[in-house]
Structures are given as C-alpha cells and as structure tokens.
C-alpha cells in the first residue's frame, strides 16, 4: 500500500478503475457483509440462489468489523487472494 497526497484542488473524486467484467460466474465468489444489521439475511439468500444456479462455484463469506470504516487492509488482501468475484451487501 502506497499513500500519496492529492496534487489537485480536490474538486473531482479520485477515479478508481472498475475491474474488467468476465461475463460469466466461475471460481470463488466472496460475499462480504459490511456488518450493517440484516446484511446477513440478504447474503444468505444470495448464497442460496448462487449455489442453486451455479453448483460449480465455491462461496466464501467475509465480514467487515464495522460498516463505519473502510475495510481493513488485511481483510482486503485476504479477499483479493481468495476470490474471483466479490459481492458486497449494503443492507439495512
């Protein structure tokens, strides 16, 4: 992780690149609960649907310690190293 300081007047958000879409669902799917209440309900249902429709894929569950802060670097690294795709639930 490298941190740099923004050289601009900060009127425009920093643009982050969107990962290229593969067009299919394969490999390991991560389901990230941001720890807002009932996020698990949404993800449980999603896991059930994915498992039914794509029996070949593996599903792993993750949770942020708190929704109020960015995902800790260690957890990000873990998800990145273990998953092909990540679904993040922003449930209330």
Partner 1 sequence: MTAAPSGFSLRDLTGAARAFPTGRPSLICFVKEDCNTCNLVAPLLEAFHQAWGGAADIWMLGQSADGNAILKDRHGLTLPILDDSALRTSLAWGFEIVPAVYWIGADGQRPAPLEGFVRQEWEDLARRIAADLAAPAPAVAWSELPDWRPGCGSKHLDPDIHDRLLAEAQGSPIRARQIEIASADDVDEFMFDQGFSDGLPLVPPTPERVLRMLSGTSRDAQDIVAVVPPNMAPATVEKIAINAVMAGCRPEYLPVVIAAVEAVCTDEFNMHGVTATTMGASPVLVINGPIRERIGMNMKLGALGTGNRANATIGRALRLVVRNIGGARPGGVDRSTLSTPMKFTMCFAEWEEGSPWDPLHVERGFQREDSVVTAFAMTSGPVQIVDQESRGPDQIAGTLGLGLEGMFLSKIHRMPVDALLVVCPEHLRTLTSEGPYAKARLRDRIQAVTTRPLREMVANAVSGAGIPVASAARMSEAQLSAPAAKFASDKHIHIVVAGSEAGKFSACFHGWVTGPAGSAVVSRKIEC
Tokens of 73: 């670097």
Asked if 47 and 31 count as a contact pair (C-beta separation under 8 A), the reply is yes
Using CB under 8 A, pick the residue from 42, 70, 75, 89 that binds partner 1: 70
Should residue 69 be labelled a site residue for partner 1 when binding is judged by CB under 8 A?
Answer: yes
Residue of 19, 20, 23, 37 that binds partner 1 (CB under 8 A):
37
Q: How far is CA 90 from the centre of its chain?
A: 10
Q: How far is the CB of 4 from partner 1 (least distance, A)?
A: 5
Site of interaction with partner 1 (CB under 8 A): 1-11, 13-15, 17, 36-37, 66-70, 76, 80, 92
């Amino acid at each position: 992780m490298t941190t740099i300081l923004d050289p601009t007047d900060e009127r425009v958000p920093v643009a982050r690149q969107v990962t290229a879409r593969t067009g299919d669902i394969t490999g390991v799917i991560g389901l990230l609960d941001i720890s807002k209440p009932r996020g698990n309900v949404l993800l449980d249902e999603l896991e059930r649907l994915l498992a039914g429709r794509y029996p070949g894929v593996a599903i792993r569950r993750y949770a942020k310690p708190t929704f109020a802060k960015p995902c800790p670097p260690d957890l990000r690294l873990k998800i990145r190293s273990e998953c092909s795709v990540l679904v993040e639930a922003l449930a209330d």
